[in-house]
Structure 1
């Protein structure tokens, strides 16, 4: 008989609660009449967890690579079921009530996330730091960055179509694996749904493996890594816009607004904003090209149009024009200095052409070097070595 469902549990020294979880999971399979298995991905337990699992009728695989994500990646690869439902083996999740997950999977969902905030969190089941700060903040960032329908990014109880998730090529070994699955599933256009689930205090006497600040940073870092728009493009666009407005306004003389005079000090600050913002925009372009090339992010028609314009020829033309402007600004400053006999100059007279020369030269060099590096990232290699690019539903 074909195995329809694998209930997968990562395990590292869970002797106190593992039997309870397996009994509940096997009881659910029997009650629901589902052809399934309970699979334990053991991450090097030394408390007898493996023997407990086998005695309870579960299948055990050894995962030598340490980490929550590493254990689950190995477990997903070894699963026999068409569907997989994963959950922690600390008795905090209800393996006896998986009907909503199975129903959604049978209905065609690729990923079914549990939502503990909708289903109910028992007292002392989740630390206040996680419940009121960490999880809501990170989940909100995830929804904003990726427009995903998931409201509880870090729920450990989730079900999925095994083939669909294997196709995402998940590879993070730590706790951030939970976020990677949601991010890549969203970017790949998979059918993601949410169902309410409950969370109970775990049954272990020892502290959990989770480390709040360390693992929270890993999740946030992963969110930022897969969101170059938010990491580079939007902040860079704001800095470049503000800097350009201030720089152009002050390039020909001081500006007074409401009795406050802005002069060369603000001009220098604006120049810094222009250069920093433009560099971040260049980083965005390069990171997006790299991520699309290696199937980390999806492409789009608009992105392909912009990429086609970022050629070495166009970059050299634009960058060369700015370098010429920098030379003219430099000569203007030198002639102004020569008119005084190369003596002492009023700073306000020399700073403006000097600032224009520095900004124009820096932008010119950045454009040219970005064009060459973008072309390098797009060089053809052996197609057999290239991953298949992701595709999104709309541009």
Structure 2
């Protein structure tokens, strides 16, 4: 018979709660007349969890590579169902109540996320830091960076079609797997729905595998690294625009704001802002090419236009012109120095040529080197 729904549970020493989770899922199949299966993705249990699952006629998939993401990927890829619902085997989620997920999947959604903040978090089910800081902050960053409407990025109970799973091309092996799934689904424009989900205290006597600070950092790191716009482009543009505007004013002469005077020393810093901002923008371009060419991020029309607009020849020409501009300013500064018989430079007007000259030459060299490396990264095209 064709399996409609596979319930996949990652497992690492869950003997205390595994049986009740399997029985609830099987009871759901029977009550709703659904052709389903329970897959236990075992990640090296030593407490007899595997035998418990086999005694209850659940399929056991042994996943030797450690990690939450590794276990789930092993279980999902072994599943036979058209739809998959994944959930923790700690009895914190009610596998008796999976119909809202399945209904949304049957309606044509690629993914269905649970939202614990809408469904309810029972007393003692979530640590204070997770409830009021970790989850809200990371979910907000995820919505901001990836234009997602998901309210709870880290709900462990979620469903998706097997077809959508392969479209997402998931890579991570740890707890950040949960974030990657939503990020990839959003970037690939998959249809995502959300349902309220109740979170209960888990039934284990031991502490959870989740480490608050380590796993929180892994989620944050993943969100930032997968969004080069926010990591490199936006900070770079802000720094560079600020540096260019302030440098333009300071090149013409000192600027006074109240009793504070800004002169050539400030100009040195503002030109530094231009260089730093430009470095950020260059790293954005290189990161974008690397992540797309290595299939970490999906390719877009904007990406193809990037290669039409930026190429080696244009980069070499622009870089050379910037270097020439810097040389011209250097010659003018040299003439000013020569006019005082190469003595001590006390006139700050010379520095107003030297500092922009050095800045232009550095920008030119950066553009040339970037163009060369950009072309190497994009050789596949």
Normalising by the smaller structure, the TM-score range is: over 0.9
Distance 2:307 2:118 in 1: 43
The answer (yes or no) to whether the contact 1:125–1:199 under 8 Å persists in 2 is: yes
Q: Which runs of 5+ in 1 are unaligned?
A: 382-395
Q: Secondary structure at the match of 2:34?
A: coil
In the comparison of the two structures, how many residue pairs are matched?
381
1:209-358 correspondence to structure 2 within 5 Å: 209-346=209-346, 348-358=348-358
TM-score by length of 1: 0.94
The answer (yes or no) to whether the contact 1:153–1:178 under 8 Å persists in 2 is: yes
The answer (yes or no) to whether the contact 1:6–1:83 under 8 Å persists in 2 is: yes
Q: Secondary structure at the match of 2:60?
A: strand
Q: RMSD across aligned C-alpha pairs, in angstroms?
A: 1.2
Residue 369 of structure 2: aligned partner: 369
Distance 1:58 1:303 in 2: 45
- Displacement, 1:288? 1.4
- Once the two structures are superposed, residues 138-180 of structure 1 have per-residue CA deviations (whole angstroms, 9 ceiling, x without a partner) of 0000001101121100000000001211222211110000000
Q: Secondary structure at the match of 1:6?
A: strand
Q: Secondary structure at the match of 2:141?
A: helix
1:205–1:305 Cα change, 3 Å: same
Residue 84 of structure 1: aligned partner: 84
Residue 75 of structure 2: aligned partner: 75
Query: Please, which moves more after superposition, 138-147 or 372-381?
Result: 372-381
Distance 1:239 1:332 in 2: 28
Residue 24 of structure 1: aligned partner: 24
- Once the two structures are superposed, residues 12-32 of structure 1 have per-residue CA deviations (whole angstroms, 9 ceiling, x without a partner) of 000111111111111111101
Distance 1:343 1:74 in 2: 74
- Once the two structures are superposed, residues 349-382 of structure 1 have per-residue CA deviations (whole angstroms, 9 ceiling, x without a partner) of 332222111110111011111111111122138x
The answer (yes or no) to whether the contact 1:233–1:281 under 8 Å persists in 2 is: yes
Residue 139 of structure 1: aligned partner: 139
- Displacement, 1:83? 0.5
Distance 1:207 1:246 in 2: 55
The answer (yes or no) to whether the contact 1:120–1:197 under 8 Å persists in 2 is: yes
Moved runs in structure 1, 4+ residues, more than 4 A?
none
- Displacement, 1:347? 6.1
Residue 52 of structure 1: aligned partner: 52
Q: Secondary structure at the match of 1:251?
A: helix
- Displacement, 1:212? 0.6
The answer (yes or no) to whether the contact 2:293–2:380 under 8 Å persists in 1 is: no
Residue 191 of structure 1: aligned partner: 191
Distance 2:174 2:347 in 1: 56
TM-score by length of 2: 0.98
Distance 2:361 2:206 in 1: 60
Q: Which runs of 5+ in 2 are unaligned?
A: none
Distance 2:32 2:20 in 1: 18
Distance 1:78 1:357 in 2: 62
Residue 61 of structure 1: aligned partner: 61
Distance 2:135 2:97 in 1: 24
